[in-house]
Every structure is written in structure tokens, then in C-alpha cells.
Structure 1
Amino acid sequence: MSKYDIDERPGARAELLCFLVATAAASHSLTQEWRVDHVVKSCRIWLTRNAVVMHWLERVQLGQLALKVARRDLRDAGITVRQSDVQALFTGEMGLNHASTVVQRMMVVCKELL
């Protein structure tokens, strides 16, 4: 399977950011910690699953942005992720559940930032 640069796939950067924000928010909801390692691993998983490559520095910057969004910007947008919301954020294959209104609102925030 050939891999594509993230910018060759329209919307991929916003999709990845939203996935990382959802991962960070879900992880925090469950552990009460902001886990950088979860964001890093989730980024690698998403890139592999979507056959996309991204420069390591861009991955670091996007991961930092995801943590910032999860910590502050979601709250400012009126989005809270409770333990009861976590399962609804993701599909059975651990992709974003685009039917979730929380994910839809997260995506709006992410697209505005990019």
C-alpha cells in the first residue's frame, strides 16, 4: 500500500487533529491525566490506518495543538467529554464516530484552528 502525504488528502489534517483531540479528551476523562503518550500512539495509529505520512515535527506540533484544544478550547466551545461520552466518540474500529454530536462539534473547532 502506498502512502500519501497528509496534505494530498483533503480534510486529513483536520480529521487527524480531531481524532487526537478526541483521544486526549477521552483519555483525560478516564484517567484524570493529560497523557502525551496516548496522543503520540494515537497519531501513529491514525497515520498507519489511513496510509498517510507526516513529517515528525508536524506530528509533534499537531499533537501539542490537540492537547491545547482538549484542555482549553473544547471547554471554551462548550464541549465537555464525560466518561459516559467516551465510547460514543469512537467506532468499534477506534475511528471517529462522525454520527456523534460531540465529534461533530470537535471537528468544527479543529477546522477553525487549521
Structure 2
Amino acid sequence: MEKPNIDELTGARADLLCYLVATVAASYALTQEWRVDHVVESCRIWLKRNLVTMNWLDRILTGQLALKIARRDLKGAGIAVRQSDVQVLFTGEMGLNHASTVVQKMMKLCREATGTAS
């Protein structure tokens, strides 16, 4: 069975973007470095876990957008990810913790960035 493209699943692009933003923000909170390799690997993990495909150029552009949002837009939206916040961003299975208010705020930014209705 062939995996569907990410755009065939409603809200999947915003969910992936939010996952990448949370990952890069968490990574920065822990290492004080903007780690592109974490974005690349997190994208692979999310796509595999959600059984969807995405072409390589979309992956690059989504990763760049995630870095931009994490570096510049989170602070402007009143979102600060500290070392103590990292664990609450994710579930035990390393999915997004949608119950977290920080993740909810990130998701709002990501929906706006992808043009997805809330």
C-alpha cells in the first residue's frame, strides 16, 4: 500500500510544522544551538510515524520555516521554551502533547504559517 502525500491529510502539514518547531525549540533550550540535524531527523521520524510522504523540497522548506518560527516568531507570540518546559511539549511516545498550552500556542502559529484553519 502506498503512503498518502502529506497534503492528502487535513491539518497534517501544520502538525508536522508544529512538531518541528517544538523539536527545534526544545533542542535549543537544552543545547543553546540551532541544530538543523535535529530538524531533519525529526521530520523523518514524524513522516514515518504518521505514514505519509513529502517530497524533498517541501521537507527542506518546512524545516527552514520551523527554524524561522522557533528563532523569531515564538518570542513575539509570548512563547518562551525553557529547559524546564521541554518535557511537557511531548508525550511519552515523543508525539506532540496537545494538552500543553505552549504546544497549543505553537500550533496556532503553525496553522497561520501554513494557511490552515484552526
- Give the TM-score taking structure 2 as reference length: 0.95
Contact 1:2 1:51 survives alignment (8 Å): no
Contact 1:18 1:106 survives alignment (8 Å): yes
Q: Deviations 1:19-41 (Å, cap 9, x if unpaired)?
A: 00000000000000000000000
Partner of 2:63: 63
Is 1:4 aligned with 2:8?
Answer: no
Partner of 1:28: 28
- Distance in 1 separating the partners of 2:18 and 2:83: 18
Q: Which runs of 4+ in 1 moved over 2 A?
A: none
Q: Tell me the SS of whatever aligns to 1:53.
A: coil
- Distance in 2 separating the partners of 1:22 and 1:59: 16
- The runs of 5 or more residues in structure 2 that have no matched partner are none
Spell out the pairing of 1:1-114 with structure 2 (5 A cutoff): 2-114=2-114
- Distance in 2 separating the partners of 1:99 and 1:93: 14
Give the paired residue count: 114
Paired amino acid for 2:9: R
Q: How much has 1:84 moved relative to structure 2?
A: 0.5
Q: Deviations 1:50-82 (Å, cap 9, x if unpaired)?
A: 000000000000000000000000011010000
- Distance in 1 separating the partners of 2:26 and 2:87: 9
Q: How much has 1:2 moved relative to structure 2?
A: 3.7
Identity %: 74
- The runs of 5 or more residues in structure 1 that have no matched partner are none
- Distance in 2 separating the partners of 1:40 and 1:34: 12
- Distance in 2 separating the partners of 1:73 and 1:4: 30
- Give the TM-score taking structure 1 as reference length: 0.98
Q: CA RMSD in A?
A: 0.7
Paired amino acid for 1:62: T
- Distance in 1 separating the partners of 2:108 and 2:79: 11
